[in-house]
A and B are shown apart, each in its own frame.
Chain A
């Protein structure tokens, strides 16, 4: 059994790593839960944003917060474009899975053509900064990521609960015809939500550029775990996705510390299966 300090550090690192799961899960959960579109290319969009942040930072010395100010709106526009295709071809839930899978592959190949398959690392002087709290180290970048993820998740949750547009989106997810009978233009709102989801992928991508080493095949790294996260957090629930991210991040990290790193991938789906056994109606 590892020491208490090691376990505590594992817990902190795990929760912070879970912030990335939550941030990536946010957009996925919204489009899956509220539009019934499963967007596998969400991860590829995040990596496209990460590569753009890397490119702007490395070759043009643009600070990541300035590149985010360009990349995030660009991602919003890509989200709109993607939704235009869904709309035009009347894509349903299952078809969306296949089509966005192909989008993801196209993006992966495009990234590989431009940036090659070499590993890329966006070096910044603050990438290794950390705060020392007692015996524990808290990496600053991950802390900022979790704060941003928290603000976005909380804000989105409030938006869905408190505003008419948010309520209309939730109503249309339950019964689109009746929502329309009361004036909800679901098509228009769906564009907004798709743009928003892609913009969140852009935010995640900015942090991926700062935290991770980039390679085209990496777009698939988080797929499984983030899928588990959005289901555990309940589809369409942004705060749920965030907390499920923290939960899975912490569990993975503890499993790595207590057993061995090889056990980490088992954790997310074990938690998911346990929850679904306990309550099959969960998601």
Chain B
């Protein structure tokens, strides 16, 4: 397994937000975590990105224990985050945002090659490269956030609600991009409220409710479950 979480407990202050979560992502796989608002999806992904400490349980990446690794060393292991709400460096230019993605020396040595790859994927960003990232539209900002992650030459990309706040037509593009990211060799862990889309693109999926994994399996099998159909699809 590339990413392996076992019995993770993560929380803010005294209150744990996720309990006893076990989850795997293999190389080249797209794994979705679906669940309602407040289920702990962002907590889960931030823990995988090293931004939150795990209180209990183990997190390993490529066989290496990550629980004691410092936040700024996660990226060097090959883990890149596309955070919820994009969180671009809005005062900096599009190109500078992308360059931050290849801040570490290993990625930096491939700067122009990676930049070219991002501009091929998102041609509009080439024209806007000198503009402050904060001036871009929501969809374009999401492209920058994804591009920033790709600049790090990651082995896994963690997507946190990439469709949130985007126009429906752009949402479809985003899921195409996620499939492209995997096609180019990185694994994907995706947390999403857009259940149908998230299951459509995934190889496997987990259902997170109130901080616990309540179900997991192949997307088609999950879609058959009465609970999923009722709670998430309203049928």
Chain A residues in the interface with B (C-beta under 8 A): 164, 167-168, 170-171, 174-175, 177-186
State whether the Cβ of B104 lies closer than 8 Å to any Cβ in chain A.
Answer: yes
State whether the Cβ of B108 lies closer than 8 Å to any Cβ in chain A.
Answer: yes
Nearest B residue (CB) for A167:
B96
Instruction: Produce 1/0 per residue, B52-79, CB < 8 A to A.
Output: 0000000000000000000111111000
Distance (Å) between the CB of B29 and the closest chain A CB?
A: 21
A186 to B87, CA, bound (A): 17
* B143-166 at interface with A (beta carbon < 8 Å): 148, 152
**Cβ contact of A183, chosen from B72, B90, B92, cutoff 8 A:** B72
State whether the Cβ of B83 lies closer than 8 Å to any Cβ in chain A.
Answer: yes
- Interface contact A186-B72, CB-CB below 8 Å: yes
**Cβ contact of A182, chosen from B90, B91, B92, B100, cutoff 8 A:** B100
Residue with the highest number of chain B CB atoms closer than 10 Å, among A164, A175, A180, A181 = A181
Known: A164-B108, A182-B101. A174 touches B75 (CB 8 A): no
Distance (Å) between the CB of B154 and the closest chain A CB?
A: 10
- Interface contact A168-B100, CB-CB below 8 Å: yes
- Interface contact A175-B89, CB-CB below 8 Å: yes
A186 to B103, CA, bound (A): 12
State whether the Cβ of B4 lies closer than 8 Å to any Cβ in chain A.
Answer: no
**Cβ contact of B148, chosen from A174, A182, A184, cutoff 8 A:** A182
Distance (Å) between the CB of B64 and the closest chain A CB?
A: 17
A171 to B104, CA, bound (A): 14
Known A178-B89, A182-B75; 12 more pairs at CB < 8 Å = A171-B96, A174-B89, A174-B90, A178-B83, A179-B89, A180-B71, A180-B72, A181-B81, A183-B72, A183-B73, A184-B72, A184-B103
State whether the Cβ of B51 lies closer than 8 Å to any Cβ in chain A.
Answer: yes
- Interface contact A181-B50, CB-CB below 8 Å: yes
Distance (Å) between the CB of B47 and the closest chain A CB?
A: 12
Nearest B residue (CB) for A165:
B103
- Interface contact A182-B103, CB-CB below 8 Å: yes
A174 to B91, CA, bound (A): 8
Distance (Å) between the CB of B96 and the closest chain A CB?
A: 6
State whether the Cβ of B190 lies closer than 8 Å to any Cβ in chain A.
Answer: no
Q: 24 interchain pairs (CB within 8 A)? A: A167-B92, A167-B99, A167-B100, A170-B89, A170-B91, A170-B96, A171-B89, A171-B92, A171-B97, A174-B90, A174-B91, A174-B92, A175-B89, A178-B89, A179-B100, A180-B71, A181-B71, A181-B74, A182-B75, A182-B100, A182-B101, A183-B104, A183-B152, A186-B72
* Interface residue tally for chain B (C-beta within 8 Å): 27
Distance (Å) between the CB of B87 and the closest chain A CB?
A: 5
Nearest B residue (CB) for A187:
B72
Q: Which 5 A-B pairs have the closest CB atoms?
A: A183-B104, A183-B75, A180-B72, A180-B71, A174-B89
- Interface contact A185-B89, CB-CB below 8 Å: no
With a cutoff of 8 Å between Cβ atoms, the chain B residues found around residue A171 in the complex are 89, 92, 96-97, 100
A175 to B81, CA, bound (A): 14
Distance (Å) between the CB of B48 and the closest chain A CB?
A: 11
**Cβ contact of B87, chosen from A170, A178, A184, A185, cutoff 8 A:** A178
With a cutoff of 8 Å between Cβ atoms, the chain A residues found around residue B73 in the complex are 183
With a cutoff of 8 Å between Cβ atoms, the chain A residues found around residue B97 in the complex are 171
Residue with the highest number of chain B CB atoms closer than 10 Å, among A170, A178, A179 = A178
Distance (Å) between the CB of B49 and the closest chain A CB?
A: 5
With a cutoff of 8 Å between Cβ atoms, the chain B residues found around residue A174 in the complex are 89-92
Distance (Å) between the CB of B148 and the closest chain A CB?
A: 7
Nearest B residue (CB) for A164:
B103
A80 to B91, CA, bound (A): 28
- Interface contact B71-A182, CB-CB below 8 Å: no
Nearest B residue (CB) for A186:
B72
Known: A180-B71, A181-B74. A168 touches B49 (CB 8 A): no
Nearest B residue (CB) for A166:
B96
- Interface contact B81-A178, CB-CB below 8 Å: yes
Nearest A residue (CB) for B148:
A182
Nearest A residue (CB) for B75:
A183
A69 to B79, CA, bound (A): 44
Nearest A residue (CB) for B106:
A183
* B169-224 at interface with A (beta carbon < 8 Å): none
Distance (Å) between the CB of A129 and the closest chain B CB?
A: 43
Known: A170-B92, A182-B101, A184-B103. A175 touches B87 (CB 8 A): yes
A185 to B51, CA, bound (A): 13
Known: A164-B108, A168-B103. A181 touches B75 (CB 8 A): yes
With a cutoff of 8 Å between Cβ atoms, the chain A residues found around residue B80 in the complex are 181-182
With a cutoff of 8 Å between Cβ atoms, the chain B residues found around residue A184 in the complex are 72, 100, 103
With a cutoff of 8 Å between Cβ atoms, the chain B residues found around residue A164 in the complex are 99, 103, 108
A181 to B73, CA, bound (A): 8
Nearest B residue (CB) for A181:
B81
